[in-house]
Structure formats: structure tokens, C-alpha cells
Structure 1
Amino acid sequence: MEEKQEKALAMWPAIVKAKCPKCRIGDIYTSPLYSLSGQKMHINCPHCGMTYEREPGYFYGAMYVSYAFIVAELVALAIGTSIITGSDNPWLYIIVLLGVVGLLAPFNMRYSRVILLHWLTPGLHYHPDLSAGH
């Protein structure tokens, strides 16, 4: 049986698939986006061994990214609800906005950390040599 060779992804597919920012092959998370087991991260990259939590409390910075996601989602939903329904009933907006934000919470949590690792961490860059030969 042949061993499956993995290929490093380009930046955007690596972000979408939540791959390691250093090698773009190893998974950051142990489970799918919507899973009953929750959002569990690997401590180290299974491929290159990079430690994901760069320092104690590192992922507190992801809260700011998550906040930006939530604000953008709420503004887009409020405008969309207004255009679609034309209603000025505050309860409609509360139900729609809180319901969708609740459904998107796992997405926001996961991708705020992925974006923090890929874009907002100084000195953390892709190393093609770590994925060479795979």
C-alpha cells in the first residue's frame, strides 16, 4: 500500500483548512468545525512540531479578531434583515442577530485563532523547506 504524500497548501487554502502556518500541512485542530467534542487544538503541529501557543495567554489576542468578526456579522445581519423584512420590530432583530451569532460562535472561535497564527504573529512565517519532500 502506498503512503499518501501530503502537499503544502497555498496561504488561503491553508487558512480555510486550518493548517499550520509554518508548514501548511499539519492540522491545528483535532476535530471538525462543528463537532460534539468541541474545539480542541493540537498542542504542537503533527507535521513540523511547531508549538501553537507561542507564550502563556497567547490566544487572548484572538478575542480581538473574534470581536471584529462578530461586529461585521452583526452589521451585515442587521442591514440584511432590514432590507429583507423592512421591519422595525426590535425583537425580530434580537432573535435573528443573537441566533446567527450563536450559530457562528464555533466558526468565530476557530478562525480568530487561525488568523492570529497566520497573519498577526510577528516572526511566524511559512517555511517551504518543512514541507519539502512531502
Structure 2
Amino acid sequence: MLRILRILLLGLLLTCPACRHGRMFRSLFVMNVRCPVCGVIFERDAGEVTGGMAINMTLTSTFALVAGGVLGIATDIPAGELIVLLGLATAGFGMLFYRHARGLWTSILYLTGSIFED
């Protein structure tokens, strides 16, 4: 169980789950095809990026739902302003969490054996 949590944490920290040293991203939104340290291929098949997108969409939607509920109940912000505020916050959260969702998905692929050292 600790191994699984450590691998998932490495994914959230955007570190290669295979060697634990390489960086997954070379720029803000561009993921490396291979680990710069060990050479493992992060996404071997076409369409594997959709798992990271699903994680990002799910967590972003959850964030919006919880934030909307808390702000709607606990504050006196008018509905129109609340919708605009939540829209901006949700878009910002989704863009900022994108890389980490892809890293988390890469870790899940590694744990299931879809990513392996050549």
C-alpha cells in the first residue's frame, strides 16, 4: 500500500515513477515523450492522454461543486457574481491541475504495468 501511495505521489509531483528522478514535463503544458533519465516512454499507446483528462475533469467538477455549495450557503454573494467567480476559479483550477492530473494518470499506468522500462 505504501508503494502505491508513493508512486501516486511521484505522479502528482511530476516525477518519473520508474526511476524516481526524471521530470515528466519539459514546459508548462508539454509532456516529455520519454523520461530524460531512464528513457521510459510515458504514453505508449494513442489515447492514453484521455485518462489524465478524465481525472482533471472529475476533480475540477468536484472543486466547483464543493466551492459553489460552500460559497452559496456561507456567504451573501449575489448569484450572478457567484457564477462568474466560480467560473473563473474553476477554469483556473482546471488549467493549473492539468499537469498534475496527467502525472497522476502516468503513475496509474505505471502501477498497472502499461509503462515499463525497456
- CA separation of 1:126 and 1:19: change in aligned 2, threshold 3 A: farther
Tell me if structure 1 keeps the 8 A contact 2:11–2:105. no
Larger helix fraction of residues: 2
Matched letter for residue 38 of structure 2: C
TM-score, length of structure 1 as denominator length: 0.70
The number of residue pairs the alignment matches comes to 111
**Which residue of structure 2 aligns with residue 24 of structure 1?**
20
What does 1:96-111 correspond to in 2, within 5 Å?
Answer: 96-111=85-100
Matched letter for residue 99 of structure 1: L
1:80-101: CA deviations, max 9, x gaps? 21243144x3312211211111
Give the secondary structure class of the aligned counterpart of 1:119. Answer: helix
Structure 1 or 2, whichever has the larger Rg, is 1
Gaps in structure 1 of 5+ consecutive residues: 1-9, 32-37, 128-134
Identity %: 22
Tell me if structure 2 keeps the 8 A contact 1:21–1:125. no
CA RMSD of aligned residues (A): 2.3
Q: Which runs of 4+ in 1 moved over 6 A?
A: none
**Which residue of structure 1 aligns with residue 3 of structure 2?**
none
Alpha-carbon shift at residue 60 of structure 1 (Å): 1.5
| Structure with more contact order per residue of length (Cα contacts < 8 Å, sep ≥ 6) | 2
**Which residue of structure 2 aligns with residue 14 of structure 1?**
10
TM-score, length of structure 2 as denominator length: 0.78
